[in-house]
Chain A
Amino acid sequence: AQSVTQPDIHITVSEGASLELRCNYSYGATPYLFWYVQSPGQGLQLLLKYFSGDTLVQGIKGFEAEFKRSQSSFNLRKPSVHWSDAAEYFCAVATNTGGFKTIFGAGTRLFVKA
């Protein structure tokens, strides 16, 4: 069965510092991978997605993620964090075999300190 692991429950970075949020997935076929962000009291918004092709994908708000098949990873990065980036980040894998569903990781809460 497919699964998504986000090993860090929360991360604190200083404003202006770089950020990397880890994500590992388990899925037998070619994965469709996503990162979503959730601000407090809000729904989820897509940051970026990977379907195929270039393994480094660019998203909104200056985020990028790199797909590494050999490591089953899809880590999210940002070179310089802004205070407004403080939120919950969810990695997700979508399946399209038999049924339609997207499985989310447990999330990583990002705190940004001045």
Chain B
Amino acid sequence: EPEVTQTPSHQVTQMGQEVILRCVPISNHLYFYWYRQILGQKVEFLVSFYNNEISEKSEIFDDQFSVERPDGSNFTLKIRSTKLEDSAMYFCARTKAGPASGELFFGEGSRLTVL
């Protein structure tokens, strides 16, 4: 059973549309992350979220992206106006404490295809 459940597993959207990707951790942890992996490329850090606030974000995470944990359980990544280059696999992950304290537990990913 995965430590983190992500939905949807695959989403196809038109360029310019808004997309929300969801992540539900199995247990109640405080540290969450979003990573993305463009097909055949490296896993890239997007954002870390700690105690209901963004802890750090990469240069990829521009104004088109946002994260929140609206109900204390689901952790969402929103892309406001998708571009073709947003097509990628998006992974949610969590750690029991900060990332230097142990391993990242990844979900199985949400594949986003922007047409």
Tell yes or no: A19 within 8 A of B by CB: no
Q: What's the nearest-Cβ distance from chain B to residue A48, in Å?
A: 9
Min CB–CB distance A63 → chain B (angstroms): 14
B66-103 to A contact mask, C-beta < 8 Å, 1/0: 00000000000000000000000001000100111111
CB distance from A35 to the nearest CB of B (A): 10
Residues of A contacting B41 with CB < 8 Å? Answer: 106
Q: A96 near B99 (CB under 8 angstroms)?
A: yes
Residues of B within 8 A of A102 (CB): 33, 45, 99, 104
In this complex, the member of B50, B56, B91, B98 whose beta carbon has the largest number of chain A beta carbons within 10 angstroms is B98
Which of chain A's residues have a CB closer than 8 A to the CB of B35? Answer: 104
**Is B98 in contact with A96, judged by CB distance below 8 angstroms?**
yes
Which chain B residues numbered 5 to 44 have a C-beta less than 8 Å away from chain A? 31, 33, 35, 41-44
User: Using Cβ atoms and an 8 Å threshold, which residues of chain B touch A46?
Assistant: 103-104
Q: Specify which chain A residues have a CB less than 8 angstroms from the CB of B109 in the assembled complex.
A: 42-43
Chain B, interface residues (CB within 8 Å), range: 20 to 34
Cβ proximity bits A61-78 to B, threshold 8 Å, 1 near / 0 not: 000000000000000000
Residues of B within 8 A of A28 (CB): none
Contact A42–B108 (Cβ < 8 Å): yes
Q: A43-B107, A101-B33, A104-B42 are in contact. Are A51 and B100 (CB under 8 A)?
A: yes
Do A98 and B56 form a contact, CB below 8 Å, given A44-B43, A106-B42?
yes
User: Which residues from B are CB-within-8-Å of A36?
Assistant: 104
Q: In the complex, A95→B48 CA distance in Å?
A: 12
- Chain B residue nearest to A47 in the complex (CB): B103
How far, in whole Å, are A100 and B58 apart by their CA atoms in the complex?
11
Q: Are A34 and B50 in contact (CB under 8 A)?
A: no
Out of B33, B42, B99, name the residue touching A107 (CB < 8 Å). Answer: B42
Q: Give the Cβ gap from B105 to chain A, nearest Cβ, in Å.
A: 8
Q: B108–A43 contact, CB under 8 A?
A: yes
B residues in contact with A99, CB < 8 Å: 48, 55-56
